[in-house]
Amino acid sequence: MSVIQFDHLSAEERSLLYTTPALVTYLIGGADGNFDTKEEVQSSHFIRIHSADGDPILFDFYKHVETTYFDVLDAVVKQYERTSVKERTDSIIAELEKLNEVLPKVDNLYARVLIKSLRSLAKVVAEASGGVLGFLEVGYEEEQLMGLEMITYQP
Cβ atoms of 45 and 63 closer than 8 Å: no
Confidence of residue 142 (pLDDT cuts 50, 70, 90): confident
- Mind listing the pLDDT tens digit for each residue in 5-35? 999 999 999 999 999 999 999 999 999 898 9
Q: What is the pTM of this model?
A: 0.93
Q: Where are the domains of the chain?
A: 4-145
80-114: per-residue pLDDT in tens? 989 999 999 999 999 999 999 999 999 999 999 99
The rounded distance, in Å, linking the Cα atoms of 42 and 148 is 18
